[in-house]
Amino acid sequence: MYGVLVIGAPGAGKSTFCAGLTDIFTQLNRPFITVNLDPANDNVQYEATYSIKELITVGEVMDRLGLGPNGALKYCIETLCQNKDWLLQKITENTKKYVIIDCPGQLELYKSEGELWKVIRHLEKAGVRLCAVHLADSLYCSDAAKFISVALSTLATMVTMEMPQVNVLSKADLFSSDGTYDLDYFTELPDVNRLTDLLNNVPGLEKYSKLNSSICQVISDYDLVNFVPLAVESKESMARIIRLVDTANGFAFTENGDLRDLIASSKN
């Protein structure tokens, strides 16, 4: 089985991206299922085949245990981990279908050996080939300091998850009417020395020049982070992301992994 794990900070557009995937896969006649693993998501923009809310909800936990939103969310993911065979059974009942998994956005849930990490490892050991798509809001790349924050959180997720990952700057269409906002500066990681200079020129940050340099060097040393811009309304943009994901999880090398018709139609 093959699938995509959609992760990213709250508000990055994960549900919108999942809805876009369902539209594209329907056009491609690609059989798929959708799985919502965010118990706090009350604005799911697609029809979820399965949902963690069948097991537990954040509201229920808050009322029953008196926890706050974050504590209740963590409790829900712990419950999912205890019932990971339930999720695996739901997915393996659809062995010939592509899996779209919509995840919660809190980064602490993705820590090494954390509950969600264990759930994902359980699926992979059972033969579900997943590629993570990490969405970051492109609005947070308006200056060097914000971009460094996005790059660090992305790098932390990549190192922790230990799986193929495509990093996406979402909402690129908000910057131009045709969704072709030029994100070249951010998609290929800028020169570290240039980033350090930009940080040191921010009022108030110049006194942290050594720290700024060390942070930028960490990103450079790993040399893992680059981004692909995404405009969900653009078929060509979505096709680019799907092609990268399908290649990373291996689906592109199956008899059903051809995207040429979609790519051709997106250019017409």
Q: What is the structure's pLDDT at 63? A: 92
Q: Are strands 98-102 and 165-170 parallel, antiparallel or unpaired?
A: unpaired
Q: Are 210 and 204 in contact (CB under 8 A)?
A: no
Q: Are 133 and 35 in contact (CB under 8 A)?
A: no
Phi, psi dihedrals of residue 154, rounded to the nearest 5° = -65, -45
| Average pLDDT score over residue span 85-114 | 87
Buried b or exposed e, range 256-268, using 16+ CB within 10 angstroms: ebebeebeeebee
State the Cα–Cα distance between residues 32 and 23, nearest whole angstrom.
Answer: 11
Handedness of CA 248, 249, 255, 256 (dihedral sign): negative
- Using the predicted structure, report yes or no on whether residue 181 has a pLDDT greater than 70: no
Give the separation between CA 186 and CA 70, rounded to whole angstroms: 31
User: Domain coordinates of the chain in residue numbers?
Assistant: 2-180+226-260, 190-224
With pLDDT > 90 as the criterion, what percentage of the chain qualifies? 39
What distance in Å separates the CA atoms of residue 170 and residue 106, rounded to the nearest whole number? Answer: 17
252 has pLDDT over 80? yes
Least confident of 46-55, 146-155, 247-256: 146-155
Could you give the C-alpha distances from 34 to 172, 203, 223, in angstroms and in order? 24, 46, 32
Report which listed range, 91-95, 114-118, 174-178, is most confident. 91-95
Query: Which tokens sit at 197?
Result: 């200079």
pLDDT, residue 217, reads 81
Size of the chain, expressed as the number of residues it contains? 268
DSSP label at residue 99: E
* Average pLDDT of the residues in 212-223: 80
Q: Does the domain at residues 2-180+226-260 carry the CATH identifier 3.40.50.300?
A: yes
Distance CA 73, CA 109 (A): 9
Can you give the pTM of this predicted structure? 0.86
Collect all residues with Cβ–Cβ distance below 8 Å to 160 and sequence separation of at least 6: 110, 111, 112, 117
Q: Given pLDDT bands bounded at 50, 70 and 90, which one contains residue 184?
A: low
Query: How confident is the model at residue 156, as a pLDDT?
Result: 85
